[in-house]
Structure 1
Amino acid sequence: MRFDERFLDEIKTRLRPSDVIGKSVKLRKQGREFVGLSPFTKEKTPSFYVNDDKGQFFDFSSGKSGDIITFLQETERLTFSEAVERLAAEAGIALPAVDPRAAETEKKRQGLSDWLELAAQWFEAELRRPVARDARAYLERRGLPESEWSRFRLGFSPSGRTALKDYLIAKGARPAELVDAGLLIAPEDGGQPYDRFRDRIIFPITDPRGRIVSFGGRAMDPQARAKYLNGPETSVFHKGHNLYGLAEARKILAAAPAGEEVPLVVVEGYMDVIACQRAGIAGVAAMGTALGEDQMEMLWRHHPEPTLCFDGDRAGRQAAARAMDRALPLLKPGKSFKFALVEGGKDPDEVLREQGPAALKQQLAQTTPFVEALFIRERDAEPTDTPERKAGLKVRLRKLAASIADPDLAQAYKEDLLGRFEQLSPTSQPVYTVGAAAREMSRQRWKGGRSEVRAGATQEVKDATERMRRSPKSLAAALALTAVRDPHVLDETIELVDRFGFGDEKLNQLAQELVQLRYEADHLEGEVAIRRLQAKGFDRTFLAGLEREAKRAGVSAPFMAEAGDRARRLWREAFDLLVQLEALERAVDEAVRDLPRDKDSTTLINLKVERDQLRRLINSDWANEGKPAARPVLPH
């Protein structure tokens, strides 16, 4: 049986490690930790520590560490499933229902995992053979001695086209399995599969529990088309759901003395992760992709405020900006990020080689809070030497604060960002001001963040205004209906859907149920989802009404006329547009409320203009208006 992370977290929340481990190891309290004799080695002086706050144990005598599941696996030789089932019973939590299809999928996954592990062992052995002489020399030049190779399970793939394939087939593997595992490439013309990794240094990629799920390879040939190559998406590996080095980083965090804050640092490359971990810093990487929502949630499960350390070049700054935009809606009290920049345009690997571990730790400890980094990014985006440009900065700051889902944190960010804004050098007189009467009229017209139809307006104007007012509701219905029919559209935005819903409070409960269904099942067909929703009270009448409302979305929902990957991509883009619109609506509301204190109404006017532009975009065929194919980011 496969268990999702939320189920495992619930078990760990209910059970204290000291209680579970204390049943087989005699523990005594020592400060904020518990200490006892190692259950893994014979010792006279206690070196086994349990920390309830971190949910981890660490044994200095054997080097083993982990959580309560790992402890039962190590001490009682239980499988992972057996350990989880035992702890679930102890915590009083019912096991999830067994899905026959999911069980078959898990059986297949386990088979692929076995071949991946065998491949890792073969890569490791190849690194120590004559064929890998240049690879060994490269690692030595990078300051990574042979004594460290085993710790990170580094390997080498020779240049032969079928070297790994021949080895694994001799062990009983079928070529199709190795293609599914990402180890072989199947030619489109139907030719024989061949090794994916050739003449490369191999970096195994593991899941949080240390099981190998894929590989990354660094080319030895300087003329290779791809300097770094990662394995493809498979049934056991999803780039957006994994972080390179997380299993080792968890050990470093668990081994930290009580009361000592150890940073969790996100860097850019494999060698940077290894450099951090060799220096005693819990480092991870997103493997060449932008840091996604799922990866952020993984980070927050292990540290309340991870540090993002990107290179100081243009690409690094862009990566930091994308991370800010993706993280902003997800921030909440106790969950944020910090930013660090190593000096001199170097990366962590260079700092470790040239200056040593102490220098790397010292540089990564010099961090900038999220709110400050956000303000600096916006302030430096363009000059603020005219009233118009300064007003533009204020508009952007308000929008960014309003995009935070947590209302208390959104208010705190707004106050902080606008406080920093007020400290900027003053400009000339504002371009446009309004008096008390105009402010009152504005408040009446924009009450609740929605425009009201003026008295005496023609029926045509009333109809147009009504269509504008209803449009987000119709788009929300289209988004929700598509998610009911194809729950997998939620996969890349599931955390945002969990917090924002579909942009209509009438659909909030439906959004929560769909999110829960996706967390409970990896493979969820539309008909199954509909039956589960009907059992939750969303009857056919509700679904029929949802379909009627969705049809009114028209060109604002092009994903409903598509299928497959294109439909899912368009759905995600439309959802992001809706999130942006909701952020703008909140920013307009905030600006209206602040009018009595803010003599300059330029900010409000600009926000309304941008909000109305986005409304018009949503009502147009935005998918064919030259929009980039990539998902739009939150406004900045």
Structure 2
Amino acid sequence: MPRFSPDFLDELRARLRASDVIGRYVKLQKKGREWCGLSPFTNEKTPSFYVNDEKARYFDFSSGKSGDIVGFLMDGQKLTFVEAVTRLAEEAGMELPQDSPQEREREQKSKGVIEACEAAAGFFASSLKRLEGRKARDYLELRQVPVELQGTFHIGYAPASRSALKDYLINKNFSPALLVEAGLLIQPEDGGSPYDRFRDRLMFPIVDGRGRVIAFGGRALEKNVQAKYLNSPETPVFHKGHVLYNYMQARRFAADLPKETGHPLIVCEGYMDVIALAGAGFGNAVAPLGTALTESHIKLLWRACDEPVLCFDGDRAGRQAAHRSIDRVLPELKPGKSLRFAFMPEGQDPDDFLKEKGAAAFQEILDAAQPLADVLWDREKDARALNTPERVAAFRSHLRTLVKGITDKDVRNAYGNYFLERLTPPGGAAASRQSAMPYRKGMPGKKFPFQPPATASPALKSQRTGPRNTVWNREALLVLTLLNHPELFERLEEKILDLQLGEAQLSSLLQQIIMTISSHQELDREALALHISKVATCQGVMELLLNNQQLKLTRFAGTSATLDEAEKGWLDTLALQLHHGRLFAEESEAASEAYRDETAEHRWRALHYHRQAILAPEANNEANAAESKTKVGNL
């Protein structure tokens, strides 16, 4: 049977938010700093069940029960202690400890490391107040850090001596080997005597979820020092990829913010930014410890709030740091869990900005924080030119690749829809094409007959189902075949991605099909139709295609066709569509020329009649077809 030490259980409770665990079994609502709901142990009608995330406990006044998340699973789900801890450890990503001499030795060593760090923090704090700490106090005064704030963050000073801390802690009965293990001393490679790691530095204690000092960050006070900031190395109790500076205090502060704020945490880059923000009234700030945000950091932030705000400098380096954070968090996104980004004016960090502009101006920057999706869109759009169809197609393909990397299917689908909306211009393809159509002045009431309507009209069903509108029928067949045979996407992905449709609603439906198939693996026709039916803008046109009697007569587009038949029919229809596109381009060019020169109008009219004769022969009599052939031959 595994042996669970107090440290292991404390870490388990620190990694999991009590309201998240218990909220899976009890419907909770936020009430001040706590969560409230109906007791799962009695049949009460008035809520008296409370969960406190700061204390990591629940209190049920109806039944008189209380406890932590382990106790809740034991009481509410009837699990044994080992079963409850095992389930929670899996959720928290923690390996179960083994009851062995090695494990007990590791626990004892961890306890000694924490005790040494606690003692070192006391030494550094007293050194700041002594004569030798005058230079550090002057620096804090220059940075406008008041004495009260220094005490809040337990700021200290490491003397310049190579053995000041070592001598102090050895006199406290800590062995040199343990102090090296704690990262407080450095052991030379030549086997010489260990010496103090932190010398002549302003010291910032780093605490764990229980408020115990587990490491330090030190800022150099001399300009010519190689490392401006120096952090403790990895130790048995400190892993910088799992710890955020000021996390516990910031989490408590955020819990007291008004509900409409979302109780966010502000993530900045360094210790002094966190301290400056706290001094300006923003006690909900944290910072990573000399590293970029990790997956563990992000999960830690999400335990305190749904959308933490990452605060970066507005220069190129700040944007790049934001983009790295996006790449790291994108696969981890969950429903309701994301990031926002606030960018400072170029060349300023929060500390500088607060001194110059004040807290109100900084709040405006926070209020203008951008959602992750918007920053991602801007990054991808600004990284490439979108001035050719091929580049636009590559852009779409790249966005689909990004969407595929999102693990959660609901978020993946939502991002696919978001990008689809951003890719589709207002009014759709037909509207954008209409705006480019020529209309010559001096010809009252005379528009070129190939000019399409601005948007799909309410009479779509009646106008788009007749035998004469072969252009719409062809586009509809291309989309309907994909609806009934989503497996075609794997075979014809490149051609499907390059497909451009003139009808706005068909184009939107096509893009939705592409995004849905890209976001979901091995999707059959029933599942695809179910997903599309949930998109209000596509539901109507999809039903029109599926119920169109004329389209049903085309075998390859129907459900009874084999995949090979569907592929051949789709490619044949695409060939006709591309041929129509080339003729349309020639006609448009001739129309533009006619717009500039009336004498060129005969060429446009000949091309127009020729296209109509080829693409809709059933709508033209033999005389019109012969006339168009003659006129084209005379060009």
Q: Using structure 2 for the length normalisation, give the TM-score.
A: 0.57
Aligned counterpart, 1:217: 218
- Tell me the CA shift for residue 180 of structure 1: 0.9
Q: 1:314 to 1:53 in 2, by over 3 A?
A: farther
Do the aligned residues in 2 keep the contact of 1:183 with 1:196 (CA within 8 Å)?
yes
Q: Which has the larger radius of gyration?
A: 2
Q: Secondary structure at the match of 1:268?
A: coil
Which residue, out of 386, 392, 397, partners 2:399?
397
Give the aligned residue type for 2:340.
Answer: K
- Aligned equivalents of 1:441, 1:363: Cα separation in 2: 49
2:55 maps to 67
Q: Label 1:416 to 1:51 Cα distance change in 2 as closer, same or farther (>3 A).
A: farther
Q: Where does residue 232 of structure 1 map in the other structure?
A: 233
Give a deviation string over 1:325-368, Cα, whole Å, max 9, x none. 11111112111111111235421111222233232223222111
What SS does the corresponding residue of 1:213 show, helix, strand or coil? strand
**Aligned residue type for 2:110:** R
- When residues 449 and 105 of structure 1 are mapped into structure 2, their CA distance, relative to the original with a 3 A threshold, is farther
Partner of 2:368: 366
Letter of the 2:9 partner, please give it.
F
Q: Is the 8 A contact 1:262 1:281 kept in 2?
A: no
Deviations 1:17-49 (A, max 9, x none): xx9xxxxxxxxx9965689xxxxxxxxxxxxxx
Select the residue among 4, 9, 20 that pairs with 1:3.
Answer: 9
Contact 1:281 1:361 in 2 (8 A): no
Q: Distance in 1 between matches of 2:115 and 2:165?
A: 14
Alignment-derived partner of residue 246 in structure 1: 247
Greater RCO, 1 or 2 (C-alpha within 8 Å, sep 6+): 1
- Report if aligned partners of 2:184, 2:196 keep a CA contact under 8 Å in 1: yes
1:217 is displaced (CA, Å) by 0.7
Percent identity of paired positions between Structure 1 and Structure 2? 41
**Other structure's SS at 1:361 match:** helix
Letter matched to residue 363 of structure 1: I
Structure 1 partner of 2:146: 145
Distance apart, 1:421 and its partner CA: 2.7
1:444 to 1:349, Cα distance in 2 relative to 1, 3 A: same
Kindly provide the amino acid, as one letter, of the partner of residue 302 in structure 1: A
Please give the alpha-carbon distance, in whole angstroms, between the structure 1 residues aligned to 2:357 and 2:395.
40
Partner SS state of residue 399, structure 2: helix
Match of 1:125 in 2: 126
Unaligned runs of 5+ in 2: 36-46, 60-66, 86-95, 437-473, 493-518, 523-569, 579-635
Match of 1:55 in 2: 52
Cα offset, 1:111, TM superposition: 1.2
Q: Note if contact 2:10-2:210 (Cα within 8 Å) is conserved in structure 1.
A: no
Of 294-303 and 437-446, deviating more is 437-446
What amino acid maps onto 1:206 in structure 2? V
Classify the secondary structure of the residue corresponding to 1:322.
helix
Instruction: Give the secondary-structure state (helix, strand or coil) at the position aligned to 2:211.
Output: coil
> Does residue 487 of structure 2 align to residue 447 of structure 1?
yes
Whether the 8 Å CA contact 2:33–2:255 is kept in 1: the answer is: no
Look up the match of 1:99: 98
TM-superposed CA distance for 1:12, in Å, is 5.6
- Equivalent positions of 1:208-607 (< 5 A) are 208-257=209-258, 261-278=262-279, 279-423=281-425, 447=487
Looking at structure 2, the residues matched to 114 and 83 of structure 1 have their Cα atoms a distance apart, in angstroms, of 26
* Structure 1 residues 247-278: Cα deviation after superposition (integer angstroms, max 9, x where no partner): 11112023335555332111111111122233
Q: Which amino acid aligns with 2:232?
A: G
Measured after TM superposition, the shift of residue 281 of structure 1 is: 4.0
Counterpart-to-counterpart distance in 2, 1:30 and 1:213? 32
- Note the C-alpha offset of 1:310: 1.4
Counterpart of 1:182 in structure 2 is 183
Q: Give 1:411 shift.
A: 1.8
How far the C-alpha of 1:449 sits from its partner, in A, is 6.9
After TM superposition, the score normalised by the length of structure 1 is: 0.57
Is the 1:112–1:178 Cα contact (8 Å) retained in structure 2? yes
Does the 8 Å CA contact 1:268/1:311 hold for their aligned counterparts?
Answer: no
Q: Secondary structure, in 3 states, of the residue corresponding to 2:291? A: coil
- Maintained 8 Å contact 1:162/1:194: yes
Q: Write the distance in 1 (CA, Å) between the matches of 2:264 and 2:215.
A: 26
Change (3 A) 1:380 1:52: farther
Counterpart AA for 1:99: Q
Determine the C-alpha separation between the residues in 2 that align with 1:284 and 1:217.
16
Letter in 2 for 1:447: E
Displacement, 1:302? 0.8
Provide, for residues 274-307 of structure 1, a one-character-per-residue CA deviation record: whole Å limited to 9, x for no partner.
Answer: 2223323411111221111111111111101111
Contact 2:255–2:263 (Cα < 8 Å) also in 1:
no
Cα shift readout 1:89-142 (whole Å, capped 9, x = no counterpart): 666551448732434322221111010011011111111111121211111111
**Secondary structure of 1:115's partner?**
helix
Secondary structure of 1:204's aligned partner: strand
Q: Contact 2:18 / 2:56 at 8 angstroms: preserved in 1?
A: no
- Provide the rounded CA distance (Å) in 2 between the counterparts of 1:127 and 1:52: 47
Q: What is the number of residues matched between the two proteins?
A: 412
- Residue 420 of structure 1 and its aligned partner are, at CA, apart by 1.6
Separation in 1 of the partners of 2:148 and 2:269? Answer: 24
Instruction: State whether residues 262 and 305 of structure 2, in contact with CA within 8 Å, keep that contact through their aligned partners in structure 1.
Output: no
Alignment-mate amino acid for residue 147 of structure 1: E
SS at match of 1:391: helix
CA RMSD of aligned residues (A): 4.1
Instruction: Report the equivalent of 2:611.
Output: none
Q: SS at 2:9's partner residue?
A: coil
